[in-house]
């Protein structure tokens, strides 16, 4: 999810999960993650400057912060092995999008 509020500044959030089978014989691992943070997007090239709704390239950069919880596995801690673990997480990145209309685009990078 991402939403732009003012002049390219906005907020992005992500909720996802994952599963890895047979990490070691007979051991699977599952995880869920939620991150949110600021995003900045700007237009770098338009084929028809000033013509709204025409194809253009848009770049965004974001920094997301949150937490991850892993479960149904074996995780070492100072008090031995536990079946679940949690941690904070940071995701930093960006993208290059080709906008073909106001509501449709293709992620190039």
Report d(CA 4, CA 36) in Å as an integer: 14
pLDDT at 76: 82
What tokens appear for 50 in the block?
């000033």
Ordered strands of the 2-6 beta sheet: 2-6, 9-24, 27-46, 56-77, 80-99, 105-107
Q: What's the pTM value of the predicted model, to 2 decimals?
A: 0.72
Question: Where exactly are the structural domains of the chain?
Answer: 2-107
How far, in Å, are 4, 44, 50, 51, 57 from residue 97 at the CA level?
15, 10, 18, 18, 6
List per-residue pLDDT tens for the chain, 109 residues long: 888 889 889 999 999 999 988 877 888 889 999 999 999 998 876 665 555 656 688 899 999 999 999 998 888 888 888 888 899 999 999 999 888 877 788 999 8
- The pLDDT assigned to 8 comes to 87
Residue 67 tokens, joined? 């937490």
């Amino acid at each position: 999810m991402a939403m732009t509020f003012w002049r390219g500044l906005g907020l992005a959030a992500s909720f996802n999960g994952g599963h890895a089978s047979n990490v070691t014989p007979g051991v699977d691992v599952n995880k869920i993650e939620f991150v949110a943070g600021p995003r900045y997007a700007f237009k770098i090239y338009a084929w028809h400057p000033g013509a709204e709704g025409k194809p253009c390239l848009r770049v965004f950069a974001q920094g997301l912060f949150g937490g991850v919880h892993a479960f149904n596995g074996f995780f070492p801690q100072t008090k031995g092995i536990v079946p679940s673990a949690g941690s904070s997480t940071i995701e930093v990145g960006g993208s290059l999008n080709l906008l073909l209309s106001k509501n449709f685009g293709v992620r190039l990078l």
